[in-house]
Amino acid sequence: MAAPLGPSKVGVAPIDQVASNGSAPTPTVQVPPGVNGGFLTRHDVINLFSREVPLATAKPVAEGAAPPWALKSNTLVKTVASDVREATNKFENLFSKILPHGADDDYVTLKASITIQKKLLVLDVTDLIADSGDDLAEVLGQHVSVQLVSTQIDPKTKKVYVSEDVPILNWVTTRDMIVPVNFKFGLDFKVPKDFGTPGAIIVKNRHIHEFLLVSFSIQMPNNAVINFPADSWVYSTNFKNGRIFFSNELYLPQETPEGLVALRQQELENLRGNGSGERNYHDRIYDYATYNDLGDPDLNEGLKRPVLGGSELPYPRRVRTGRPPTKKDPKSESRGQLLAFFYIPRDEKFDQVKFSDFAADTVRSGQHAILPVLRGAVRDQDQDFNDFADIKSLYAEKGTPMTLPSNLTPKGAQIDPATQNPLTFIHEYAFPSGPDTTLFTFPLPKVIAADDKAWSTDVEFARQMLSGINPLVIKLLEEFPIKSTLDPAEFGDPLSAITAKDLEKGLEGLTVEQALAQKRLFVQDYHDIFLPYIGRINAQKKGSMYATRTVLFLTSEKILTPLAIELTVPSSSAGSKKKSRVFTPPAADSIEQWVWKLAKAHVASVDMSYHEVVSHFLRTHAAMEPFIIATNRQLSVLHPVNQVLAPHYKNTMDINAAARKVLINAGGIIELNFTPGKYTMEMSAVVYKNDWRFDEQSLPEDLIKRKMAVRDPSAKHGLKLVIEDYPYAVDGLELWAAMKEYMADHVKIFYKSDKAVQDDTELQTWWTEVRTVGHGDKKDSPGWPTLDSIENLVYILTTIAWVASCHHAAVNFGQYAYAGYMPNHPSMTRRFIPEPGTTEWEQLQKDPERFFLDSISNETQAASVMSTIEILSTHALDEEYLGQRQTPNWSNDERVLSAFAKFTDKMTDITQLIHARNADKSLKNRTGPVKMPYELLLPKSDTPGLTGKGVPNSVSI
């Protein structure tokens, strides 16, 4: 029988332990009990006190005797010993430590392998100091150590079996690197034969500096290997209980092995925190807060913004940081120092490769914007483009390679991005993995790569509503005339100004009623969303915006074409509530062509604003964060639902924090460069309040809501599309079905009945918290499934995974391809369309190109947005796509791995199917006049960079 916790004993390093450099460890010197881990190598002692001392002079010290070096640091030893004893006592309530005693035949040696990664130096020179401090800690015996925790408990003490601490030696043989390098160490654990199966480990880091615990594995006497896929940063735990990591076995709460029950609950409590205090960089605490940190009233009263979240402006919750309120507005949270990062739990931060890659992309993209900004600064005050050729000068010529000044180019460098391993900021900056580019020009957007005029055609304008960056708004028109839902008392006549006469000249001989009956009329309608804000938006004097409504027709060739555009503003005249103008496609070669182009530009600009803060940020970034928080607070890493969702959460909170810092904040990139200005995010909260439902975030329900599909059990995937050639929907349904099948396969491994779902306490608490706290402002809204069956659980998980992966990919990774050419999707409209007989009308007639360019984003605004969406559209070097999991040995369960392998194979099949569809010339909406195949929902991008294809698992950028 294993012995209970006893007095500390001095240990000896395993003889066959091997460091990353393959060298055998040196014999160890014993140190007094209580000095963390009780180990010093001769190498450590010699390097600390005298590099001239021969190795033979470093003799082992008898147990209980003070070694020579201890006389020089007696106070330190006593202090450390005292603190460590205090920390150790905390374990006694839970663990029963097993110490080697008795005959050797009663024990077995378990061989373990631990893989760690140290922090990159290239972006943090202070790591050099920390690395030296870590080396000193090693010399003083303050090692990184590991204990095994059994799945069994001591029947006498009712405490969990835990092994002795085993330290990692030869740490000083590793050094911080400028590239991510995994260091692998061997450890031996001597435990009684009745120790049982290790189910967790306790890692203690007695260094100053954190390190990444990549993985840990143990080989059992029967040669079975138990894996612990940690992938987590371990901070100094010198005077704490250490970090808990579980093996990759998955258990429902009621099936948890007895030895892990208390640890499972303890780790969840650790992650929840106590809801108070300001969070620190190294914390791992998940809690909720409103979006009350977008404004900065202490810096400038004009930067005060309303709180998003609560009864007035409902919104999903973000992670709580605990920063103090601002001085001028107690409802707002202070934003801290200008360059300070917002807190997120440490494991939610970008990994080192992703961070280096993102930083390089950011610097390089910002550099692309330098010349436009400088060029505008030396021109007139408006900084406008001179002509369309001026816009094209921003881009590198097609096929131009990345070049560096000769003094920066490595001598004899031959860089092949296809064969490079993920490296560093310096490497990625100098040799990007993306498209051809130069240091000071933007990459050529795909929308003008084949034909620089095709973007302006009516067919392409309409096609992008089905396969562009925002294919989530267009809906079937079922009634005519179109009627607003806004209050007539405030906004006037609810009927649209578009008449049957406006439409019928483009209906191929049909009447409006016939076209409606044949389901061939569609609408992109932003009227009701924008009109209540248009007056306030235009009062900012930074732009001129309309509430837009566009009616489209599906031709006999199955191609969409616009029939009419309605542009509305509130009227300034007494007794009139709004003013609407209707524009229709004009005859060729007339000034009306430019008027029509201006109308389309206003529609594209409104769509750009809605896309960025609703289709993109609200519906993916913001909506996902509560699920991430709730999952970490309520679902143990041992839970099968946690593990199937984990890939769909990666990097999301980090990019969300960055967005709050510089993108969606008061005075941020969107406010400065998008026409709605300071009302942009507030409008997204109104959309969340009026239009967001969880069930309608699934692709099938979204299509049905917009009447773009009807339920049909005989149709593929159970839906019949109204427009059969709807690339986003067609490809999306393939991915939705595959994801749903995978979720069902995974869930059914662990849940054998609906009752098992109902009885899962962690699962039920998780779903309740998501609805009542994370999305608490919508807790009483319809659309929340009841979590009472396997079917509903599968639907919930599929919806979460869909939003994080496919929905996000569809609206994000094509941004530069389409909007990188500003006239196609201007973020700003600066002038209204003039009325005939006015001075502005004369200006338009005199120089229509000049007037058009003066009406949309200027050079500085365009460059700022282009730089931003270039970053957002870029795939990372270590991107994890659908069907991939980069965490090694994430599961040992053959059933789990088989289900995932099936899903991976399905991604290959869907890839081939999408390529075949793009090659089918009868499907005209897939490439369009710009000759740009729809690849946003291809499961994988073959290369990193600005590819316009590939579906990462998560909202990762």
- How far is 493 from 359, CA to CA, in rounded Å? 51
Structure tokens at 60: 């082992």
What is the distance, to the nearest Å, from the Cα of residue 162 to the centroid of all Cα atoms in its chain? 37
368 is a catalytic site residue: no
Active-site residue flag, 46: no
Rounded distance between C-alpha atoms, residue 24 and residue 948, angstroms: 49
**Per-residue three-class SS string for 382-404:** CCCCCCHHHHHCCECCCCCCCCC
Active site residue 808: yes
- Tokens at residue 606, please? 């409104």
The DSSP code for 665 is: S
Whether 270 sits among the annotated catalytic residues: the reply is no
Tell how strand 211-219 and strand 182-192 pair up.
unpaired
Strands (E), 531-645: 547-554, 560-569, 579-583
Say which of 616, 648, 807, 825 is annotated catalytic: 616
| Residue 171: closest CA among 156, 158, 183, 181 | 183
Tokens, residue 105? 């035949």
d(C-alpha 13, C-alpha 22), whole Å: 16
How many whole angstroms separate alpha carbon 522 and alpha carbon 524? 7
Amino acid at 304: K
The active-site residue, picked from 427, 602, 611, 621, is 621
CA 709: distance to chain centroid? 30
Cα dihedral 479, 610, 473, 737 sign: negative
Count CA atoms closer than 13 A to 443's CA, side-chain side.
30
Counted residue by residue, the chain has a size of 957
Among 470, 812, 918, 953, the one annotated catalytic: 812
Whether the CB-CB separation of 236 and 208 falls below 8 Å is answered with yes
Strand, helix or coil at 851?
Answer: helix
Task: Determine the Cα–Cα distance for residues 798 and 800; give it in Å rounded to an integer.
Answer: 6
Phi, psi at 205, each rounded to 5°: -110, 105
Centroid of chain to Cα 900: 22
Active site annotation includes 427: no
Q: How far apart are CA 436 and CA 400, in angstroms?
A: 6
Which one, of 527, 437, 369, lies nearest residue 860 by Cα? 369
Selected catalytic residue, list 808, 824, 871, 918 = 808
What residues are annotated to the active site? 616, 621, 808, 812, 957
